[in-house]
Amino acid sequence: MKFVADLHVHTIASGHAYSTVLEVARAAADKGLELIALTDHGPSMPGGPHPYHFGNLAAIPAELFGVRILKGVEANVIDREGTLDLEDTRLAKLDIVLAGLHTVCSPYGTVAENTLMMINAMKNPWVDIIVHPGNPEYPVDEEAVVKAAVEQDVVIEINNSSLTVSRKGSRPHCDHIAALAKAYGAKIMLGSDSHLALSVGNFGEAVELLYNHDIGPEQVINTSVDRIYEHLNRRHRNRN
């Protein structure tokens, strides 16, 4: 399966990542990617950027080293109502919005509370992708989450970092979510969750889960640039 884009990439702006915009763009070009999304954390993450950072992403060209650049955020869910840590007026101006539950930023809860928090975040009209839903720190009703993703037309991520260097214990949850995504027809995205340019475009462990469940490229948005834009434009947003 060929992947044309990495839609979950961090730079030094996140406060705990280690490469610049130019470094990650060059790495993407070297790996033959056509597109990347810059998705630094929202401001509630310790060391994360000020909200002004996201407005100033306009300073970054739309293409670097032949790679198209989407300007986005990995917003942090900050309460059980699914509130994100970047206001809607800023989200509306971004090319892509990822949202996820994160230690320090998101309250811990029961399976029912975590599930409601994640589904509430999906209901935000600006959210395009829910990231690392298999994180065992925030156990959820995985079937309810996948069904809600289909209902809300939100992509579910299979996060390669969760299967390699972070969020230990994620694999069985990610595997189950992949099986459910196949069963319910949920849109999927493989993300590197790169915090160092060397890992941009690394999907190897996540790809195994696709093959295990016979998930084809037509269900995975980052196998096609057209499929990515079709998803991002699904609500006919005014992304000026």
Task: Give CA separation, 154 vs 13, 91, 205, 231, 232, in Å.
Answer: 26, 15, 22, 9, 10
Expressed as residue numbers, the domain containing 204 is 5-232
Q: Which pLDDT value is given to residue 239?
A: 44
* Element containing residue 72 per DSSP (H, E): strand 67-76
For 12, the token pair is 């030094």
Task: Share the mean pLDDT of the chain.
Answer: 96
Question: Structure pTM?
Answer: 0.96
Domain count for the chain: 1
Mean pLDDT of 175-199: 98
**Domain presence at residue 240:** no
Q: What is the pLDDT of residues 104-131, one digit of tens each?
A: 999 999 999 999 999 999 999 999 999 9
Cα-based torsion angle of the residue sequence 160, 166, 168, 170 in order, rounded to the nearest 10 degrees: -30
- pLDDT value of position 237: 52
* Chain-centroid distance, C-alpha 207: 16
In a domain, 54, yes or no: yes
Q: State the first-to-last Cα distance of the chain, in angstroms, to the nearest integer.
A: 33
CA 234, 225, 122, 99 torsion: positive or negative? negative
pLDDT tens per residue across span 166-186:
999 999 999 999 999 999 999
Domain CATH code at residue 146: 3.20.20.140
